[in-house]
Amino acid sequence: MSVVKRNLVQLYYDTVSPWSFIGYEIIKRYQKRWDCDLELVPVNLGYVMGYSGNRPPISVPNKGKYMWDEIERAQKFFGLPLSTPTSFPVNTQTLQQHLDLVAQSSPSLLTPLTEIYFRAVWQRNLPCKTVEEVLHILDTDDAAKGLWKSDHDRRESVEQATSKEAKERGKTLAKRIVEEEGVFGMPWFNVTRARDGQRMQFFGSDRFEQMAAFLEKPYAGPHADGRLSKL
């Protein structure tokens, strides 16, 4: 049990996961209402799957088909436009390693960069495997302007994310949270209640009613304002 001044939501996420995108957007809607701090922790979902022995839904034919139907419904329910990637699963290793690098070296960039990369994968349908592809994402998203002092700094940042050290760090983090925290998928929320320091874990983008109950805060639907969604 740890003591926190405000409610704390720690989010493990990978931009390859549409549910991570949805989970991120919904917790942002509730952040002020629930009086909570949000800590973003980019993780490689592939490594988590491997270390935990889990299987992605796409590997089971019926689950894979159902997943795309569910994503179509989720767009309407959560009010979040999503497009189907040309090739899935998308290789987001470079994105995730870059986010992890930024989290350590320039934490103020983590939130805008997370949103840029989620949009690239799930709204703009852009390739993101190579350094040049990632740089193209950053070149063509207005939100990326001014995040680095120069084009050279931006390129250097992305190139550092492809190093062996960055890859090994991603493996180490995934292995640790699987073994020490029981993580098996994403989005994964570690929620700490300020009142008594109690901590609870939640998996998936459909556990916000339970989070609200744990935090003793109101749940006001997927839009956090009481509006009803229509399918």
Q: Which residues are catalytic?
A: 17
**How many whole angstroms separate alpha carbon 36 and alpha carbon 176?**
25
Tokens 């090739």 found at: 87
* Phi, psi at 156, each rounded to 5°: -60, -40
**How many whole angstroms separate alpha carbon 19 and alpha carbon 194?**
26
Strand, helix or coil at 67? helix
**How many whole angstroms separate alpha carbon 131 and alpha carbon 154?**
11
> How many DSSP H helices and E strands does the chain contain?
9, 4
Tokens 């960039």 found at: 109
